[in-house]
Structure 1
Amino acid sequence: MSSPGFELPLRLLLAFRVLIDELHAELARQGHPDIRPMHGFVMQAIGPQGTTAVDLGRTLGVSKQAAGKTVDTLERIGYVERTPDPADTRRKVIRLTPYGMDALNRSARIFDDLRARWATELGEDRLNALESDLRRMTPANLWRLDTPGWFGNL
């Protein structure tokens, strides 16, 4: 007996939620108690080179003001800083701080640990098959960061 169609997206969303909740619980234990799930999208969009609020909003699919509000929060809790743009002093470049980079680096290691736990629970072959099937059914670009805009706003 097959499941109703609506269950598939809900199960995928729940799997995402379980992983993200476990990531954030571990990040809190490792010294990042204030970071929130949406912050990960924003910090990935900022990237190692930095970005402007306009470009950040475009990447995330939100307004410059919505992006700026989240950057304000990230700046207040120490994950990003605004610096003058060397090419145009009227603009500010948003950059990750060492604390922000630490959060991203820890996140990568925690995700590896979570994946390993899923492999232990499901079996490596089944997890590989699941990942392969998801690759087949989804776009190749893993870094589609406009999810905040797609959900409505930050």
Structure 2
Amino acid sequence: MSHRAANLPQLLSEARRWFEDALFASMEAAGEQPVTTAQASVFAMLDAEGTTVSELARRMGVARQTAHQAVHGLIGMGLLEQVPDPGSARRRLIRMTAEGLRVHERAQATIGVVESVLVERIGPDAVRALEGALRFDWGAPPLVAAP
């Protein structure tokens, strides 16, 4: 990860990219199908019983069409499936297939290994401090005016 970023949001973005690069390269090296960042985000936002595309889009902070494209790419790869929503005849739920669950579990294990590499590189205290700061409730985003 480069440290050319000028501010905290840029540093956070670089840190996320570092994790994604490690995860995606490791998964592909292990023989898994390559996925995009948007497709990986779908997995992170899915409920076990399934989630609608509209809800996935809301959780991901993207347009419904963007979520729809990511979902249908994953359906085409055999990692997700569409099923009827038992609570509404008009809605369909997106959920993992058995293969999708296997890949998701492997990705979670890979993230654990990447996190251990980070601990080796920057130390356990730094990682605990970082995790603590990111888990802390920051409250609602402030509305501010620059001086």
TM-score normalised per structure 2:
0.78
Question: Which residue type is aligned with residue 98 of structure 2?
Answer: P
Unaligned stretches of 5+ in structure 2?
140-147
**1:28 Cα deviation from its structure 2 partner:** 1.1
Q: Do 2:38 and 2:67's aligned partners in 1 also have CA atoms closer than 8 Å?
A: no
**1:55 Cα deviation from its structure 2 partner:** 2.2
Which has the higher mean CA deviation after the structures are superposed, 35-44 or 108-117?
35-44
1: CA distance, partners of 2:23 / 2:117: 12
**1:5 Cα deviation from its structure 2 partner:** 8.6
Q: Deviations 1:41-60 (Å, cap 9, x if unpaired)?
A: 11222221101222222322
Unaligned stretches of 5+ in structure 1?
141-154
Q: Do 2:80 and 2:95's aligned partners in 1 also have CA atoms closer than 8 Å?
A: yes
In the alignment of these two chains, the number of paired residues is: 137
Matched, 1:54 2:42: no
- CA RMSD, aligned part only? 2.5
Alpha carbons of structure 1 residues 74 and 5: separation in structure 2 relative to 1, 3 Å: closer
Identical residues among aligned pairs (%):
29
1: CA distance, partners of 2:69 / 2:4: 39
1: CA distance, partners of 2:95 / 2:60: 16
Q: Deviations 1:97-138 (Å, cap 9, x if unpaired)?
A: 1122122211211111111111112221232223233444x6
1: CA distance, partners of 2:14 / 2:107: 19
TM-score normalised per structure 1:
0.75
